[in-house]
Amino acid sequence: MRILSGLFTLILNSKTIYRKSLLLIIDLFLIFLSYYVFFNLYRSNQSGLNINDYRMLIISTIIVAIPIYIFTGQYKSLTRYIASFSLYRMAIRNIFLFLVAVFLTYLFGFKILSLKSLILIWLVNNVSSGFIKISLSDILSEVFNKKKNKVKRVAIYGAGANGVELSQTISRSKSQILKMFIDDNQSLHGRYINEYPIYSPDLIYKYENEIDLILIAIPNLKKNKLNQIVQKMQNYRLPVIKIPSLEDITNGLVSIEELRPIPIEECLGRDPIPPMRELLHPGIKSKSVCVLGAGGSIGSELARQIIRLNPRRIVILEISEPSLYYINEELKSISNNCIEINSILGSAMDILLLKNIFRKFEVDVVFHAAAYKHVPLVENNPLQGISNNVISTLKVCEASIACGLSNMILISTDKAVRPSNVMGASKRFAELIVQNFAELQLIEKKRNPNKKTTCFSIVRFGNVLNSSGSVLPLFRKQIEAGGPITLTHENVERYFMTIPEAAELVLQTTVMSKGGEVFLLDMGTPIKIKDLAEKMIRSSGLTIKNDLNPEGDIEIKITGLRPGEKMYEELLIDAKSIKTEHPIIFKAIEKSLPRDFLFDKIKKLEEAISSFDIESAINILSEIVPEWERNL
């Protein structure tokens, strides 16, 4: 077998004209062989056919075959990718070939075979040719596969039409070898698709050493089902990849050699709930909407979704020039210049700028998403973090009332609940400011029902996948670099939600708010960061390197908790959540502080910030947020 493989490798490396010549010689030999076999088996039935006529018939057929095979594209197809339609074309060529050969022998007066005999010869020739072509295709595919340094042994999860079509694609792959099918349908277990067995997923443990990769070939698979499959397969330490649509593969848009890992968003285990139009549109449509911090992960997604809801205009404010440029260009592309976009370069701490923006553009609704949120950076730069997160919220609230906005929504975080770091404590301080302004406006509304007041509310949620503060971009970068993945503690848990889902839910709270509420987004079940890292490794088609698998691809290293980092996060402080009309949006009324006490501390905080007095600023923060587990 090694000699045969070496021979075919030598042929494959030769010039194209030599390979085509070899194929032509094989086809001509098969013509001769067909005649020879038939003539010797049925010579007694061919009365009147002498040996010279027989030879001339063979010679005529071979002579005619050469130009027909060459000029009708017999050798343009790649032999290793031969398919059924190629065999059909070959059969049609042979019909034409034998008809021409018979005509020539008749023209020169040679005795010809009967029609029945010619049909039988034609059948023998096609069967032998087809067998040779398919055998060559299999041998060449095997040779090409072996030329790869590492060929992955693949199991297809899903024995339906998509799985069958994928198996045919893999049969032509240079880097994949199909070993089996896996399917949940019990009626299929123990049966075969072509020569490949179909097994129950419960039996994979018997074959885990025979498989390198699981390909999921089930269309329209819900996230919770996908998560179950991924979890089950990863228990066997098998990487899992979900294939793209077969249309993309068959149309050449995606190669089987370049399958991408399952986006981790699809493994959250919860299918996003569609937005309620009665909550989504009224808060935005035909209004002038402002997004502060529009270059950030949440701010930019809010801006994208807002502009699709047909506001009268959108105003985006961002302190980072590159970030503002990119989101501005993206919004112009989305709106197709049909919606007024105003991009302002500046800080949310500048109250004069805020008032000018709100009045000039007649802003109705403002989303305050401008904040420093990277825990380690804010921990190392506490004064800047407190200043940006707290003082900006104060200025936005003051400007909102002064300019008569209808709604002001603060984007907060679960790290504000019993915070263990400066960032979380500063966001809790910001929440208390918004709550105080909300109470003030509700009192004003009771005194004078006809007076226009501003509705203040807070939306609090956990980590969003792929945001600038998320671990996902870091893990992905570490995986691409070959590892290791660095993890602070193996038991750290976090809530996760996708950026679009979080932004969509924030927008829907605008209509539900009456003033002073803290809206909580149902983040599902908290996820261990270690489990998330392992899923990312395996969904990338790689294996985890550890004591049980020292030959694995990516190692996970535990580095220890960072200053201010919590083991787990919460969404409520001391209140109970109340259901709203939206199934995964809840609300709570958290405790607030007396206005005089709060604003006295804010005044002292501003003085500490202006004099760069970090110690005083930290002390004030701990007085306002006594539940903060202070580390500084």
Note the pLDDT of residue 53: 62
Amino acid at 345: L
Report the predicted TM-score, pTM, of the whole model to 2 decimal places: 0.63
Kindly tell me if the per-residue pLDDT of 338 is higher than 80. Answer: yes
What number of other Cβ atoms are within 10 A of residue 415's Cβ? 26
Q: Report the topology of domain 277-624.
A: Rossmann fold (3.40.50)
State the DSSP code for 202. G
Question: What's the mean per-residue pLDDT of the chain?
Answer: 77
Query: CA 194 → CA 76, 183, 243, 310, 615, distances in Å?
Result: 28, 15, 21, 54, 74
Over range 255-277, report the average pLDDT.
60
What percent of the chain has pLDDT above 90? 28
Amino acid at 331: L
Question: Domain spanning 152-260 has what CATH number?
Answer: 3.40.50.720
Query: What's the CA gap between 267 and 386, in Å, rounded?
Result: 35
Over range 141-157, report the average pLDDT.
64
Query: What's the CA gap between 155 and 181, in Å, rounded?
Result: 5
Over range 330-343, report the average pLDDT.
91
Task: Cite the beta strand spans of 335-446 per DSSP E.
Answer: 340-345, 365-368, 407-413
Confirm whether 152-260 and 277-624 share one CATH topology: yes
Note the pLDDT of residue 304: 94
- Higher-pLDDT residue of 358 and 416 is 358
Enumerate the β-bridge partners of residue 199: 182
Joined together, the tokens standing for residue 279 give 């909550």
pLDDT digits (tens, 9 = 90+) for 201-252: 888 888 878 888 888 888 777 777 777 777 777 667 677 777 766 565 555 5
Joined together, the tokens standing for residue 382 give 């506490």
Query: What's the CA gap between 14 and 20, in Å, rounded?
Result: 10
Confidence of residue 8 (pLDDT cuts 50, 70, 90): very low
Over range 518-539, report the average pLDDT.
77
Lowest mean pLDDT among 54-68, 77-91, 493-507: 77-91
Q: Which of 161-175, 281-295, 558-572, 585-599 ranks highest by mean pLDDT?
A: 281-295
Kindly tell me if the per-residue pLDDT of 631 is higher than 80. Answer: no
Residue carrying the six token digits 């343009």: 76
Note the pLDDT of residue 388: 95
pLDDT digits (tens, 9 = 90+) for 554-565: 888 888 776 655
Note the pLDDT of residue 10: 47
Over range 265-270, report the average pLDDT.
56
Query: What's the CA gap between 266 and 535, in Å, rounded?
Result: 11
Domain boundaries, the chain: 2-147, 152-260, 277-624
Note the pLDDT of residue 83: 47
Query: What's the CA gap between 344 and 27, in Å, rounded?
Result: 74
pLDDT digits (tens, 9 = 90+) for 352-396: 999 999 999 999 999 999 999 888 899 999 999 999 999 999 999
Enumerate the β-bridge partners of residue 585: 521
pLDDT digits (tens, 9 = 90+) for 477-524: 888 888 888 888 877 777 677 788 888 889 998 888 888 888 887 766
Confidence of residue 569 (pLDDT cuts 50, 70, 90): low
